Structure 1
Amino acid sequence: VKTDQEILALCREEAQKWVNHQREQFKRLGVLADWENPYLTMNKDYEAEEIREFARAYKKGVVYQGVKPVYWNWTLKTALADAEVEYHDIKSPSIYVKFEVNDTETLKKLGSSSGKTYFVIWTTTPWTLPANVGIALHAELEYSVFSYTTAEGVKESLVIADKLKDSFEKETGLSLHKLSTHAGNSLELGEARHPFLDRVSMIVLGDHVTSETGTGCVHTAPGHGVDDFRVGQKYNLPVLNPVSDSGQYTDDFPEMKGMNIFKANPVIIEKLKTSGHLIKFSEFVHSYPHCWRSKTPLIFRTTAQWFLGIDLEKSEIRKNTLKAMDEVQFFPSWGKARFQAMMENRPDWCLSRQRIWGVPIPIFYHIESGEPLADYDIMMKVADLVEKGGIEAFHQTSPDVIIGKPGYKHGRDILDVWFDSGVCHAAVQAKRGYKNATADIYIEGSDQHRGWFNTSMLSSMATVGKPPFKALITHGFVMDSQGRKQSKSLGNVTDPNEISKVSGSEIIRLWAAYGDYSTDIGCGKEELTRVTETYRKIRNTMRFLLGAISDFDVTKESIPFEKMPMIDQWMLHQLNKLMTEVTRAYDVYEFYKVYHLLNNFFTVTVSATYMDILKDRLYTWKPDGLERKSAQTVYHHITSNLIKMMAPILTFLAEETYGHFKGTQESVLLESFPVEHKEWHKPELESLFDKILAVRSDAQKKLEVLRSEKTIGASLEAQLEIKANGETFKALNDFNKSHPKCNLREFFIVSNVTLSEGELLITATKALGEKCVRCWTYSESISTNAATAGVCPKCVEALT
């Protein structure tokens, strides 16, 4: 058996091992953080500040010790809070049990004359029957007395909710005959006899009783249920808890002392059957609470624990928290309603846990009386002690030294791990001097509306009265390509470490931005193939852009916007629009929109349109001519701004590209984010280019027909005759006249374009003239000069 100090040392070593492991994984994924100065809940200063937060909450009167039912893990022997509970389907016994009416007044009210009369309860937890002290009815439900004949031919009467007669008959196979009907509230304070113990079960009223399932008569054991406990308090029922912290019966139920409660279920059922109190036994599959760590089925067990009261008059934490939610932004917006619902319905927060590894609750107990010593000044003294020596110092230091007088012992409870993480607003944000100690965002999965989001909000509202965050981002969960949960048994688990090894971390980062994280998203071969293809296109485009501006000096050769050809101005207008839309998407954390905006801009606007059109100008026009330098100026703007826009997602590629781009900062992440250029805003070009791009699309189809007929190979082997009217003709004509060389011929990537007015008609034919040996354009004016033989007039100009 290890000592407390040995256990603490082993736990700290294990935790540090996984901290180091996860740090390296996060670095591999390109996560930006202060890795040399992380905050860990096991740091001494963090542990100390957590104790101070508990002390502050206690001083405000919102922390109290109470005896009430809590989720209990009987394998780990500790209480759990709501946030530590998850639900799984299990098969439980389903039993209908008779409780004989025990008092003459109730029998008289019921008017039963057919033998014995029984209230019938339905339960899936037979092991709680030894703690039964009551039967709950609903005041406004009607209850009927039904006669029936047992298998042995004995006539008896049963009391159940009138609405549940049909379902009860179906479940039990009994045939019932109604004798009389009574209001639930008329049966209050009646008595029935426990089926196998010498004890009375009182008839009480409770709002938790429904007519949806069962019998409308609810087995009530205040020691093993929240509703039961609440009703028990109202009627002053005894709180029986014959179950130990390890899930075994105690001396309070000597007949089965030492037996595990779940193993006792069949024994109790057999006992009921033997005594004639069992009407029906079957098995029932239902959702049941389990421990999030051990996956063990939980029980409710009434014990003394420390709670954060959220409805106390002096604090009204629940009321104030619900009001404070209006100060918080929610992404997506539906997160607010979900968070509100969780907050409206949650019970007081059970803060105490029965473990060794964790931040101790700074309360001492009198050795003889067991009374707690909860004192703010002593708590703060414990915090100072822990700040110097960690939680180990608390266990090592005698209570006499801390308190200043003898007769006390250490408490053995620690604080809930959700309190550990929940107080980071004080232990990190406030401690490190962040402005107002309010984080910009907290981000977590949708399950954390009842977890970290919830406990962070409560702990902050309890001590400082304001939310610890400005915004909450809720994300879904990772599924496989078919929308199924990932599990080893299905063989559909996607390991990010394996993806990183094979494809690189950028693929994981790009995948994370690819889907709408506010819903569950798939991660499988299909999704990864898609984002890998996107990554390759982006990378190839960036490589082309870098090559295109390799001989360009932006400080000396930049062309002003107003002197650029129209298509270059249009391109910068598109870039300007992209910057606005990307910034807006980043501002509301819609990363999937950033992905699709960038992907479309790279692949369609830049690569398939602008770069395709400008290749001839870039490679064959006069190297120092205005038109080529204009193209390079645009390419420089595109490269510079795209690097910055993609940096939050494609961090590694952005840094690599930025290194070749020769930016002025040490890292692209130190650059200012792109902002809109007012002079690039040209909405009139948007309309004009929409029209000529539509014509370009039709023209490409015509050219494709010539290719399929083997009339041409490349589009430069063709010429176009275009007839158009109205706004379309005006757009084509305006563009064609805007620049002598950056015209429709360049735009359509053919050797010649003839434009005339008329009904829209595009005719594609084989180009006339000879092929230029330099740019491959067909011309009827090929040079015969010895120095420029075989080239077109455009290339002659470039060479001279």
Structure 2
Amino acid sequence: MTDAPDYKSTVFLPVTDFPMKAGLAQKEPAIAAKWEAMDLYGKLREKRAGRERFILHDGPPYANGDIHMGHAMNKVLKDIIVRSQSLLGKDAPYVPGWDCHGLPIEWKIEEEYRKKKLNKDEVPAAEFRAQCRAYADKWVGVQKDQFKRLGVMGDWADPYLTMKFDAEATIVGELLKFAESGQLYRGAKPVMWSPVEKTALAEAEVEYEDVTSTQIDVAFEIVEAPNAPELVGAYAVIWTTTPWTIPVNQAIAYGEEVEYVLVEAVAGNPAGVDADGALTMAAEPGDWGNLIFGKKLLIARELLDAAASRFRVSRWETHWSGKGTYLAGAITRHPMHALGGFFAKPRPLLPADHVTTDAGTGLVHMAPDHGEEDFLACKKLGIDPVFAVNDAGFYRDDWDWLPGQGSVINTKFNGPEGPICTDLRAAGALLSASDFKHSYPHSWRSKARIIYRCTPQWFIPMDKPQEGAVVDVEGGVMPTPIVTGNGPTLREIALDAIEQTRWVPERSTNRIRSMVEGRPDWVISRQRAWGVPIALYVHRKSGQYLVDPAVNARIIEAFKGAGADAWFGADHQALLGPDYDLNDYEVVNDILDVWFDSGSTHSFVVEGRYGEGVRADLYIEGSDQHRGWFQSSLLESCGTRGRAPYGAVLTHGFALDGTGKKMSKSLGNVVDPLKIMSESGADILRVWVASTDYFDDVRIGKEVLAGSSDAYRKLRNTFRYMLGALSDYDEETEAVSYAEMPELERYMLHRLAQLDAELRAVVDKAAKSENWLEFSRYTRAIFDFANSDLSAFFFDIRKDCLYCDAKSDLKRRAYRTLLDTLFHALVRYVAPIIPFTAEEVWQSRFPSDEDSVHFLEWPEVDHHWINSHLNDKWGELRYQREQVNEAIEPFRREKVIRSSLEADVTMGEMLPSDGVNFAEIAIVARIEMGVGDGIIVKPSDWHKCGRCWRLLPEVEEDGTLCHRCDEVLKG
């Protein structure tokens, strides 16, 4: 017998040069270089000119170091959204930007000084600022290249920088708007202060860490008690975890409805232990705890047991009890009253709402210098701050107690053996001192503890009625804003703007609302050198800052020419003009809070580039920005424009390591995006970003990235198959109309239309979808469609038709027509997610040096293709196909048959198979329906065609041809 003919050359196999192995790390830089050479971003702006605009305003990262995973996640998400809006046909510009002022950069320069043993204060300020500018400029360049490597498309040739002169001029202009509308004041209030960095901090610059502090109980002798004479000579006991504030105490607060008791410790067994060896009573003479004996102590009844534990007291004798109202008018004296001066002044007891019985003694020591609630309560009685602690955290050299000593954040200084506790003990006032673990604020740059410190600062008030405030009552862009006379406060305007903004996810509304509801006045001044100055002149006699539009105009023009340096080196008399004498004015040299800088970016980026009154469609940042950029931008815009600067805000979570832990260099669990890109490519990282439920914190590690790589590989292979199958496709001669298509093709168009609607719901805000901007849903839908609907189903069934039918056959032409439709849709859908690969795919089929997949718009999908009948019918057929495959699998494993094509299947259930060859769908030799129960599989006794490998009744022996193949070869 002669060998069977080899028909391999007669089969129409897919042909493509598109490689299965991606090699993204090597290919992506070349693709990026091509985009830059052809000015992809600029050409796209030209193509979308005049279209509906979608503006995503970029929140500025700090220009100080290589990007980390948080940067990568944020920028990729922004890029996906911008590209998807462009795909919808909108003009979607993206202007990247950097925050170049403030402590992050200044601190780095100071670190370099410290290494050289230089003192920043000894360097000329202009030289220091120049070094800060150069440092920022360096890292802008580095980060720019890294962001571009991520595939982020934007105006990299002209990004916005807060240190550009025009930007600084606009920032100072925004400040002067607040000044002109009376929304600034200078006052002394406690603010978060870093003694290490010697400056006030914003809430967003603070992080909380668990620490162990020293908790102390201190006795203040009561010298007057008009409503409870029994208390005179007794001691009001206060509890604090900040011993360093005792030298600045000025009063004691009580709760009017709290019940207080006057008690005296009863000594027990001199040995201090009971029969079981347990400590039961106050320590005896010889221990500092003996200071408790002989004193009557005033403590809240609810906290008596907790105090007893700290004092090591088992029994109390009660002498008096009563509500806090009895303490009205009572006076104590400071434990260090013998020092005279400040410490000899009476310490009044005063009512305060913030007194609770959650911890301590129910009596709160008040240091208005170091607590906002203390400050406000004391202010009502005319008790002012004394500014005892300097900017470095030391007591003033002229202070009567511990002059020049500190630092007050030093744990030893505050400890049981430190000078404060030692002196209080010597004065007979220290009742206890022990460890206390709690959460405490730290500077997120220096990592050092911060303090609340009263200093003269500039504030924007949250609750001052703004007569003549500009209010946007509709929450949209108003060409002529309404000027009201009813005086809404900035807080009220901001809360109203929050309600008019779309927050994604919706639950984030509660977070921003609660933060604005509870926030104090905005501290906008910093005592630094690098940044935009608070360009004001304060009258030396009246204390009022100058408000003159002509002077302000000259200031802004000076800034346009020389930036912030125009103020520090200015001829201030020239700026004031002939109407004012510089000798009458103090020149303010404080620096603006960097959050005011970034909060003003909408004015010189969005309005500056797209017109006055234009606002961003979307802001996107991490959840920490509810207290940072989202809020500072909201307050700045509401104070100057009466509305939010954005129409919608998306909040994403943070990137954690593979086990869900926060990334930390000290833990060695940092996942570096630069390393991922150099090894696997940016598109793999982008798949990870797009696949995560980024509204919450997300994990990334080897296993997670392996999953992203696997998903990418399958999608790449889907494109590879389509490219091969369409290699010689000619639309003019092969295209088939919808009416001519077989039912399977029409069903796949139905599935494509369903997919299209699902994807549009994610990207198009006009769809009013709850899933807007939920790209994990978008990505999952694409991947599922490519894998389940196409590769595992449609392609699997039609590969026989593609390989073996005649090129002119209607079914084959219909299949290739649909493949072309699918190709054009899918390559567009994935372009925002994997822009490098989408470009590679597109150029593989349509090579061009001037064209790009990213010029394309959303595919034309006819939603009349939606067909509920086909959906139900083919849904059942697909289910039954899976059942048949499961029934065949054991026979394949046991090698009874080598492929499903060799199986005969008998099914007990009739299928809705009118017009459908279910044997072709299930890829088996033959199907018998409605016979017996369940699914029965057996090897077919038919012979296999030598060309298409199908087992058919007309094939006389293995290797010979079936009727179809015979006709194709003859044809």
TM-score by length of 2: 0.78
Question: Is 1:157 the counterpart of 2:278 in the alignment?
Answer: no
Secondary structure of 1:127's counterpart equals helix
Picking from 192, 214, 221, the partner of 2:367 is 221
Q: What does residue 64 of structure 1 align with?
A: 185
Alignment of 1:333-352 (within 5 A): 333-352=506-525
Equivalents in 2 of 1:313, 1:368: separation in Å? 26
1:515-594 to 2 correspondences below 5 Å? 515-587=692-764, 588-594=772-778
Is the 2:187–2:458 contact (alpha carbons within 8 Å) kept by the matching residues of 1? yes
- Report the counterpart of residue 303 of structure 1 in structure 2: 455
Q: Over residues 47-68 of structure 1, what are the superposed CA-to-partner deviations in whole Å (9 max), with x where a residue is unaligned?
A: 1111111111111111111111
Distance 2:386 2:660 in 1: 46
Structure 1 counterpart of 2:899: 714
* 148-157 vs 331-340, which moves further: 148-157
- Secondary structure in 2 matching 1:516: coil
2:229 corresponds to: 108
Deviation digits for residues 386-423 of structure 1 (CA, Å, limit 9, x no counterpart): 11121122222221221134325542211100001001
Please say if residues 399 and 409 of structure 1, whose CA atoms lie closer than 8 Å, have aligned partners that are also in contact.
no
Instruction: Tell me the residue number matched to 1:323.
Output: 496
Q: Secondary structure at the match of 2:790?
A: helix
Q: Deviations over 1:75-115 (max 9, x none)?
A: 222112222222112221100000000125365154x7xxx
Counterpart of 1:74 (choices 195, 211, 216) is 195
Match of 1:126 in 2: 243
The Cα RMSD (Å) is: 2.0
Letter in 1 for 2:308: E
Match of 1:287 among 429, 439, 456: 439
For the pair 1:475 / 2:652, whether they are aligned, the reply is yes
Q: Tell whether 2:796 aligns with 1:636.
A: no
Q: 1:139 is matched with which residue? A: 256
Query: CA deviation digits over 1:496-548, x for unaligned, max 9?
Result: 00001010001111111111001111001110000000011111111111111
Mapped contact 1:242–1:251 kept (Cα < 8 A): no
CA contact (8 A) 2:247 2:401 kept: no
* CA apart distance, 1:483: 1.1
2:917 pairs with 1:778: no
Percent of aligned positions that are identical: 37
Q: Which amino acid aligns with 1:754?
A: E
The correspondence of residues 598-637 of structure 1 with structure 2, limited to 5 A, is 598-637=782-821
* Structure 2 unmatched runs, 5+: 1-121, 267-281, 338-343, 467-487, 765-771
Counterpart AA for 1:295? K
User: What is residue 793 of structure 1 aligned with on the other side?
Assistant: 963
Q: Secondary structure of the residue that 2:409 maps to in structure 1?
A: helix
Report if the CA contact (8 A) 2:251-2:347 is conserved.
yes
Distance in structure 1 (CA, Å) of the matches to 2:135 and 2:172? 23
Q: In the alignment, does 2:342 pair up with 1:195?
A: no
Deviates more, 1:349-358 or 1:249-258: 249-258
SS in 1 for 2:325: helix
Letter matched to residue 202 of structure 1: P
Over 3 Å counting, the alpha-carbon distance change for 1:502 and 1:620 in structure 2 is: same
State how far apart, in whole Å, the 2-side matches of 1:551 and 1:382 are.
Answer: 68
Offset of residue 585 of structure 1: 2.2
User: C-alpha displacement at 1:457, in angstroms?
Assistant: 0.3
CA contact (8 A) 1:107 1:117 kept: no
Q: Which residue does 1:747 correspond to in 2? A: 921
Aligned 1:426-437 pairs, distance under 5 A: 426-434=603-611, 436-437=613-614
Task: Give CA-to-partner distance per residue, 1:678-713, whole Å, 9 cap, x none.
Answer: 231112111111211121111112222222332211
Matches within 5 A, 1:387-402: 387-402=560-575
AA partner of residue 207 (structure 1): D
Matched residue SS, 1:552: coil
Q: Secondary structure at the match of 1:102?
A: strand
d(CA) in 2 for partners of 1:64, 1:376: 18
Aligned to 1:179: 319
Match for 1:517: what amino acid? Answer: Y
Query: Which position in structure 2 is the counterpart of 1:235?
Result: 381
The SS at the match of 1:437 is coil
Distance change >3 Å, CA 485–CA 650, structure 1 → 2: same
Query: 1:529-569: CA deviations, max 9, x gaps?
Result: 00000011111111111111111122442111121111111
* SS of alignment partner, residue 506 of structure 2: coil
SS in structure 2 at match of 1:303: strand
Task: Give the whole-Å Cα distance in 1 for the aligned partners of 2:336 and 2:405.
Answer: 17
Contact kept? 1:548, 1:618, Cα under 8 Å: yes
Matched residues in 1 for 2:676 and 2:833: separation?
17
Contact kept? 2:537, 2:587, Cα under 8 Å? yes
SS in 1 for 2:563: helix
Q: Is contact 1:579–1:675 with CA below 8 Å preserved after alignment?
A: no
- Correspondence for 2:884: 699
**Deviation of the 1:629 alpha carbon:** 0.9
- The answer to whether residue 160 in structure 2 is matched with residue 20 in structure 1 is no
Q: How does 1:340-379 map to 2 (within 5 A)?
A: 340-365=513-538, 372-373=545-546, 375-379=548-552
CA distance in 2, matches of 1:346, 1:675: 49
Answer yes or no: is the 8 Å Cα contact 1:580–1:676 preserved in 2. Answer: no
Q: Report the Cα distance in structure 2 between the residues aligned to 1:359 and 1:40, rounded to whole angstroms.
A: 13
SS in 2 for 1:796: helix
Residue 262 of structure 1 is matched in structure 2 by 409
The letter for the 2-side match of 1:283 is: D
CA distance in 2, matches of 1:313, 1:373: 21
| Structure-2 change in CA distance of 1:30 and 1:244 (3 Å) | same
In 2, distance between residues paired with 1:188 and 1:368? 38
The equivalent residue for 1:740 is none
Shift of 1:251: 3.7
| Whole-angstrom CA distance in 1 between matches of 2:450 and 2:883 | 68
Deviation at 1:720, TM superposition (A): 2.2
1:406 aligns with 2:577: no
Gaps of 5+ in 1: 737-742
Q: Report Cα offsets for 1:563-621 as digits up to 9, x if no partner.
A: 11111111111111111111212341101111211121111111111111111000001
Instruction: State the distance in 1 between where 2:604 and 2:355 align.
Output: 44
Q: Does 1:250 align with 2:396?
A: yes
Q: Choose from 131, 154, 164 the match for 1:33.
A: 154
Measure the CA separation in 2 of the matches of 1:668 and 1:17: 33
- For 1:710 and 1:783, the matched residues in 2 are separated by 24
Higher relative CO (Cα under 8 Å, sequence separation at least 6) belongs to: 2
Query: Would you say how many aligned residue pairs link Structure 1 and Structure 2?
Result: 781
How far apart are the structure 2 equivalents of 1:438 and 1:51? 20
**Residue aligned with 2:748, SS:** helix
Farther off after superposition, 627-636 or 99-108 = 99-108
Q: Distance in 2 between matches of 1:90 and 1:301?
A: 20
1:133-185: per-residue Cα shift (whole Å, max 9, x none)? 10000111111111224744743211111111111112221232222211112
* C-alpha distance in structure 2 between counterparts of 1:711 and 1:307, whole Å: 83
SS in structure 1 of the partner of residue 226 of structure 2: helix
Contact 1:58 1:376 in 2 (8 A): no
1:461 counterpart letter in structure 2: C
Q: Aligned residue for 1:668? A: 853
